[in-house]
């Protein structure tokens, strides 16, 4: 299992401290969990802000919540890829690459991207990229990094 601080990028390199804006660390692969009514084979992409790339605040509480969110996917036996982006580092390109990396049954868009008015245009780009690159994927919204798996499950049942 990958956790913040030791992410695997799309080319398989280990990357320390933060996600750096790509698909990072699939979770849940090969670990059995409770039945999720057919959702256990589903693949989920979580798109959010990379807390280590944001200036002016402590990323540790969010990184800890992301780790708990990853554990929740594991507990449910779900596979999740994480695309954590920085608003000033070509986020739309990172999201498009993540979406093109595989077939997703659900895409969870994090609250940091939805709730911050200056990021409204980026949020719109992400939704349209999901529609373009994963037209059959459900789109879900979490309330915190801790409940990403639960947000996905609302659509995977």
Residue 35 has pLDDT above 50, yes or no: no
Which carries the bigger pLDDT value, residue 153 or residue 2?
Answer: 153
Confidence category of residue 40, pLDDT binned at 50, 70, 90: low
Distance CA(92)–CA(122), nearest Å, equals: 7
CB under 8 A, 24+ apart: contacts of 89-94:
89/21, 89/53, 90/21, 91/21, 91/122, 91/125, 91/126, 92/122, 92/125, 92/126, 92/129, 94/21, 94/22
Residue 141, strand partner residues: 109
Domain boundaries, the chain: 6-156
| Tens digits of residue pLDDT in 3-28 | 333 333 333 322 333 333 334 433 33
Across 13-17, 50-54, 128-132, least confident range: 13-17
Confidence category of residue 136, pLDDT binned at 50, 70, 90: very high
pLDDT of residue 11: 32
Residue 39 has pLDDT above 70, yes or no: no
- Identify the sign of the CA torsion 53, 50, 126, 101: positive
| Tens digits of residue pLDDT in 62-78 | 999 999 999 999 999 99
This prediction has a pTM of 0.77
CATH topology of domain 6-156: Rossmann fold (3.40.50)
């Amino acid at each position: 299992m990958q956790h913040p601080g030791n992410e695997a990028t799309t080319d398989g390199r280990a990357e320390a401290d933060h996600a750096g804006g790509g698909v990072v660390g699939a979770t849940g692969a090969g670990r059995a969990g409770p039945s999720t009514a057919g959702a256990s084979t589903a693949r989920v992409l979580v798109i959010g802000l990379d807390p280590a790339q944001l200036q002016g605040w402590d990323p540790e509480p969010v990184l800890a919540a992301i780790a708990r969110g990853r554990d929740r996917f594991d507990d449910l036996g779900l596979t999740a890829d994480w695309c954590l982006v920085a608003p000033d580092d070509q986020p739309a390109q990172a999201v498009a690459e993540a979406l093109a990396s595989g077939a997703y049954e659900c895409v969870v868009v994090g609250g940091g991207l939805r709730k911050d008015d200056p990021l409204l245009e980026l949020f719109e780009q992400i939704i349209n990229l999901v529609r373009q690159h994963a037209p059959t994927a459900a789109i879900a919204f979490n309330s915190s990094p801790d409940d990403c798996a639960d947000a996905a499950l609302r659509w995977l049942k």
